[in-house]
């Protein structure tokens, strides 16, 4: 299959009609804090495309340290205004303009072990600084399904009503982030939504690409974590933007993932068929997994438009055609909370 990778990416990142309609209802400019991560650039670009399709003008602003690479120039070429800022530097933070809509993407995960103090500063201290500075904004704050307990597979995942039980300092600091945002939402009457994601996948990174790479290289796929939730990043991006219309006081918590509880073995077998490889396996399945019930998300936004089979096919096509892969593994098999 001959594939123009740029056209392929642009097609998959096109805004849906639902996003185009919702973005008309969002009052004011939109700022992405911590835009330099895995989801920020594509989310901001999607916002620009949706605004153009809707025929309206808003500023889309991306904030990051922009310490290396060509991301800043890439974003600006796509119509995104950029501001270089170390968010943990309070003087820098105070200089950021007041914007009505904030999507908070900043955080620290990998390298947590041995760097716990920085992890807590990023994940639990910084949210208080941001909440204070943007107390008059709406804030969609990214969190993680890692704050939730491992549950028996047969229970169908954890909904927002169940109390968190984070394992390890990364997950604990993520719960700290949620609690700090919740506190300032109440204190300052700031509308917020805690966006609890588990797991976004893209053709360059995520659970699917990790399994696909193992199958393609004929390395064994570990089946200890035998079930997972995933959602295509394009759908996760749309939900994040549209969530600006669902911020509330006190802060609303929202689980975000796809509707299925997926078999790791089945995913590997699907890639085996598409990549013409025979999957190899190791490990025996545990009885519990980190699984989210995202039925409230689906009630608000509908089911993701990209199905799991489509996501698997997109990923396989990307690999077969030599697309760029990011070395940003999720470590979804980790069960002890050490990242």
Among 2-11, 161-170, 255-264, 302-311, which is the least confidently predicted range? 2-11
187 falls within a domain: yes
The per-residue DSSP string of 103-171 comes to EE-----TT-TT-HHHHHIIIIIHHHHHHHHTTTSEEEEEEEGGGSPPEEGGG--B-TTSPP---HHHH
In the predicted structure, residue 72 carries a pLDDT above the cut 50: yes
Higher pLDDT, 69 or 216: 216
C-alpha span between 327 and 339 (Å, rounded): 15
The pLDDT score that the predictor gives to residue 68 is 75
330 falls within a domain: no
Residues 316 and 203 sit within 8 Å (Cβ to Cβ): no
The pLDDT score that the predictor gives to residue 67 is 82
The pLDDT score that the predictor gives to residue 38 is 86
Mean pLDDT of 87-100: 96
Confidence of residue 284 (pLDDT cuts 50, 70, 90): confident
226 falls within a domain: no
In the predicted structure, residue 271 carries a pLDDT above the cut 50: yes
Residues 30 and 22 sit within 8 Å (Cβ to Cβ): no
The pLDDT score that the predictor gives to residue 115 is 83
Mean pLDDT of 152-170: 92
> Residue 83: which residues within 8 A CB-CB, separation 6 or more?
61, 62, 63, 96
| Dihedral over Cα of 52, 55, 58, 59: its sign | positive
The pLDDT score that the predictor gives to residue 331 is 61
C-alpha span between 49 and 56 (Å, rounded): 11
The pLDDT score that the predictor gives to residue 1 is 43
Tokens matching residue 141: 């704050």
The pLDDT score that the predictor gives to residue 2 is 47
How confident is the prediction for the chain on average, in pLDDT?
92
216 falls within a domain: no
Mean pLDDT of 7-18: 80
Confidence of residue 273 (pLDDT cuts 50, 70, 90): very high
Q: What is the CA radius of gyration of the chain?
A: 19
Higher pLDDT, 5 or 128: 128
C-alpha span between 278 and 271 (Å, rounded): 9
The pLDDT score that the predictor gives to residue 334 is 61
283 falls within a domain: no
**Max CA pair span of the chain:** 57
The pLDDT score that the predictor gives to residue 24 is 97
C-alpha span between 310 and 106 (Å, rounded): 29
305 falls within a domain: no
Q: Classify strands 227-228 and 262-263 as parallel, antiparallel or unpaired.
A: antiparallel
C-alpha span between 208 and 266 (Å, rounded): 11
214 falls within a domain: no
Number of structural domains found in the chain: 1
Mean pLDDT of 100-115: 83
Mean pLDDT of 164-189: 96
Nearest to 235 by CA among 39, 75, 103, 59: 39
| Helix 168-188 with 126-133: angle, nearest 10 deg | 20
In the predicted structure, residue 307 carries a pLDDT above the cut 80: yes
Q: What is the CATH number of the domain that holds 160?
A: 3.40.50.720
pTM: 0.93
How does 59-93 read in b/e, with b if 16+ C-beta sit within 10 Å? ebbbbbebeeeebbeebeeeebebbebebeeeeeb
Q: What is the DSSP letter of 276?
A: T
> How do residues 217-259 score in pLDDT, each as one tens digit?
999 999 999 999 999 999 999 999 999 999 999 999 999 999 9
Confidence of residue 335 (pLDDT cuts 50, 70, 90): low
* Structural domain containing residue 36: 5-200+231-257+293-298
The pLDDT score that the predictor gives to residue 204 is 84
Own/partner long-range contacts of 61-67 (Cβ < 8 Å, ≥24 apart): 61/29, 61/30, 61/31, 61/32, 61/97, 61/99, 62/31, 62/32, 62/35, 63/31, 63/32, 63/33, 63/34, 63/35, 63/87, 63/96, 64/34, 64/35, 64/36, 64/40, 65/36, 66/36
CA 300 vs CA 37, 107, 303, 304: distances in Å: 26, 26, 9, 11
Q: How large a percentage of the chain has pLDDT more than 90?
A: 78
270 falls within a domain: no
The pLDDT score that the predictor gives to residue 264 is 95
The pLDDT score that the predictor gives to residue 124 is 96
Confidence of residue 215 (pLDDT cuts 50, 70, 90): very high
Tokens matching residue 116: 């716990």
In the predicted structure, residue 325 carries a pLDDT above the cut 90: no
Confidence of residue 333 (pLDDT cuts 50, 70, 90): low
């Amino acid at each position: 299959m001959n594939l123009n990778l740029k056209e392929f990416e642009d097609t998959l990142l096109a805004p849906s009609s639902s996003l185009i309609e919702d973005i008309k209802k969002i009052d004011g400019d939109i700022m992405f804090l911590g835009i330099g991560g895995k989801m920020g650039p594509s989310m901001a670009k999607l916002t620009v495309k949706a605004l153009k399709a809707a025929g309206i003008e808003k500023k889309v602003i991306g904030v990051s340290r922009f310490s290396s690479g060509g991301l800043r120039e890439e974003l600006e070429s796509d119509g995104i205004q950029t501001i270089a800022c170390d968010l943990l530097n309070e003087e820098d933070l105070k200089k950021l303009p007041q914007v009505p809509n904030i999507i908070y993407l900043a955080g620290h995960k990998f390298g947590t072990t041995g760097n716990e103090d920085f992890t807590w500063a990023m994940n639990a201290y910084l949210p208080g600084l941001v909440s204070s500075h943007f107390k008059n904004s709406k804030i969609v704050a990214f969190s993680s399904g890692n704050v939730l307990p491992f549950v028996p597979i047969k229970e169908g995942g954890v909904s927002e009503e169940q109390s968190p039980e984070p394992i390890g300092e990364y997950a604990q600091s993520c719960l700290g982030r949620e609690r700090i945002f919740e506190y300032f939402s109440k204190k300052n009457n700031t509308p917020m939504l805690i966006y609890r994601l588990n797991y976004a996948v893209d053709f360059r990174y995520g659970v699917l690409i990790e399994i696909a790479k193992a199958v393609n290289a004929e390395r064994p796929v570990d089946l200890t974590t035998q079930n997972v939730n995933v959602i295509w990043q394009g759908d996760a991006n749309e939900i994040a933007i549209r969530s600006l219309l669902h911020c509330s006081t006190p802060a609303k918590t929202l689980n975000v993932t796809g509707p299925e509880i997926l078999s790791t073995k089945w995913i590997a077998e699907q890639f085996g068929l598409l990549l013409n490889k025979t999957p190899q396996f190791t490990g025996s399945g545990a009885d519990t997994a980190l699984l989210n019930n995202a039925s409230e998300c689906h009630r608000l936004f509908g089911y993701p438009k990209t199905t799991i089979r489509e996501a698997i096919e997109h990923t396989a096509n990307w690999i077969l055609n030599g697309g760029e892969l990011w070395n940003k593994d999720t470590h979804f098999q980790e069960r002890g909370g050490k990242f």
